[in-house]
Amino acid sequence: MTGAAPFERCIRRGGVAVFPADTVYGLACAPDDRAAVERLYALKGRASHKPAAVMFFSLEAALAELGELGPRTHAALERLLPGGVTLLLANPARRYPLACGADPATLGLRVPALPALRAVRVPVLQSSANAAGARDARRLADVPEAIRAGADLVLDGGELPGTPSTVLDLRSYEAAGAWTVLRAGAVPAEAVGTVLGPPPAPPSGEPPP
């Protein structure tokens, strides 16, 4: 790891970086730079209609940007972040459309527990540093050589936990207190439940998600 300054410089200049998150190795670029986003997607062979997450490196920066959050959702973010979760949020302002794929009304948000990059002042579009559908990278050596060679900056953070973030759907949390785990990952559902409370029971006759 060489620190926050080279990483931020790479992003601001339209580059694509390989970096260690708090879960697995990731790819990052500026979320509003179409050419950089297209390069990132091409490096991992990801279909252009699929969404990615927007990552902020401090909770304060994320909350300042997402000023339209309701009080219940705002409080949930303060309890869950930073940490190994990706949150799907309602996106009425249609922020970061290049990261939203085919659904501009939904934004994926990530704020990692990553002290080494906390000083980074810009958000990034972030996806895992692997070929689409392949195993996540725990070590830099696990990142495909073609991805490392095609990136403008490669940061080595040693061996990481290796389990990707837990994906939580909070789009109905403000109105109904509802949340759903869409992908099991680094943070167990039980731990989420202690923070957010149990999800509402499904209507009678319907199985839980």
Domain assignment present for 190: yes
Based on the structure, what is the number of domains in the chain?
Answer: 1
Q: Which pLDDT score is estimated for 161?
A: 97
**pTM score above 0.95:** no
The tokens for 91 are 């996106």
Mean pLDDT of the chain, nearest integer: 94
Domain assignment present for 35: yes
Domain assignment present for 207: no
The answer, yes or no, to whether residue 2 has pLDDT greater than 90, is: no
At 1, the pLDDT band (50, 70, 90 cuts) reads low
- The Cα-based distances of 72 to 75, 129, 171, 176, 209 in angstroms read 5, 33, 11, 10, 22
Domain assignment present for 204: no
Can you give the residue range of the structural domain that contains 167?
A: 4-196
The answer, yes or no, to whether residue 126 has pLDDT greater than 90, is: yes
63-100 residue pLDDT tens? 999 999 999 999 999 999 999 999 999 999 999 999 99
Q: What is the DSSP string of 58-104?
A: SHHHHHHH-TT--HHHHHHHHHH-SSSEEEEEE-TT---GGGSTT-T
Q: Which pLDDT score is estimated for 204?
A: 55
The answer, yes or no, to whether residue 31 has pLDDT greater than 90, is: yes
The tokens for 38 are 């297209």
Q: Are the C-beta atoms of residues 54 and 110 closer than 8 Å to each other?
A: yes
Domain assignment present for 31: yes
CATH number at residue 173: 3.90.870.10
Percent of the chain with pLDDT over 70: 94
The answer, yes or no, to whether residue 162 has pLDDT greater than 90, is: yes
Domain assignment present for 105: yes
Neighbours of 122 (CB within 10 A): 15
191-205 residue pLDDT tens? 999 999 987 666 555
Domain assignment present for 151: yes
Domain assignment present for 10: yes
Neighbours of 10 (CB within 10 A): 23
